[in-house]
Structure 1
C-alpha cells in the first residue's frame, strides 16, 4: 500500500476578501510540484464565499466538475441555459466536455457559502457538455456511506449522479466508534479520503478536520470514526488514465 498524506494546514491558501480558498492540489497561484493531482483527481478546493459574492462567467473544457455545498447555497448559471441553486445536501455535476461557460455565486446576501469544488480528468474528451444535480438524504443514512457519484455506464438510474470517468464519490456521517471497510470497486484505482468534520482513523493514520490521505495499491481499507457526527468524503479514481 502506498500513502500520501495531505494535512489541512499544508494546503495552498488564497484569501481575496470575498473568497477564502484552500487547495489540496496545485491551483491558480498555488503551485507545488508534488501536489499536481492524485490519479485522475485534479482539484479539491475548499471555498468560502461571502454573501452575494462569487465567480463571474468563466470557461471550462474537458473536465468533470463536482460541487458539494457544505453550508449555505450556491447559485449556478451556464451557457447551456441552466440557472439553479445548489443547496446544502445537494450535489452538482458538470461535464465541461467540448466547452462551456458558467458562473457561481453565493445565493444569499447575508451569510457565506462553503463548498467543495472537485475536478476529475474525464475518460473521454470533447463530449457534449451536460449538467445535473441531486439532493441526497444524508441525515437518515447515518453510519453508512451514501454514494453520490458513479461512472457513466449507459444505464445509470436516478440513485446517484454520474460522470465520464471510472470514479466513485461517497459521503458519510458516523457516530463515534462506528467503522466501515471500503473495498475498491475497480482494480488499479486509488482512494482519496478527506475528513469534512471530526476525526477518523484511516488504516493506521489519524485524520483531523479537512486532513486527507491518498491510498493506492490497495484492495480495501478500514475507516473508523473517532468523534461524534464525524463526516467523511471518499473519492475512488483511476491512478493511470
Structure 2
C-alpha cells in the first residue's frame, strides 16, 4: 500500500484543525445568543440548568404578577414612637366623589367595608388578606380613598404619628397624612381611566390602641381634605394647600 505523502498528511491536519475552529466558533455564537440550541445536543447540562432557571423565573414572575394585579404597587411599613405600621396601596373602578377616610377599631366594621368593595368590584384576595391580618386587639385599620385620572395615580403615605389631643387630659390620637401621586416618570405612558386610589394603614401599638384619628388627604388637584374621626363621630373639612 502506498504511504500518504507528507503533503497529504499536512493537508488532512489542516482540514481537521479548520473543522475544530468552525465547531468552536459555532459554540461561541451559540453561547452569545443564548436562544440558539446546539444541534449536537452536547449542552444537556446547560439546557437543564436553563430549564431550572426558567422554572424559577416563571414562578417568581407569577408571584410578581399576582402582586401587581392585587397590590397595585406597594406594601410598605415602618415604626413610630410606640407603634409600628404597614401600608397597602390599591385601586378600584368606582372613585368617590370626594376623598374619604375610615377608622376601623373592630374586625366586623372592617369586614363590612371590605364587603362593600367586593360588591363594587374593587376588592382582591391581597386586599382581603391585609384586612384579615389586622390585630384589632392591639391595633387598628385606617382606609383612605380619593379619585385618580389614570391608572398610574396612587395614594401614598406622607406622614404618620401619635399626637396629643388639644384639650388637656384627652387621649392621644393617630395623625395620618396622605396624598395622591401621579406615580409615573417621563418615559412611562399611562392608560387614562378614572379610578379610585386607596391606601390601607394597619397600625399596631405597644400599649392600648388609640381611638381617635386625624387624617389629611391631598387630592390630585392639590386640594387638602381634613378628617377628624372618633369612635362615635366623623367630620370632614376641605381647604387648599398652600
Task: Give the TM-score range, shorter chain.
Answer: under 0.3
Report the structure number with the largest CA radius of gyration.
2
**Structure-1-length-normalised TM-score:** 0.27
Q: Which one has the bigger strand percentage?
A: 1
- What TM-score, normalized by structure 2, do the two folds share? 0.27
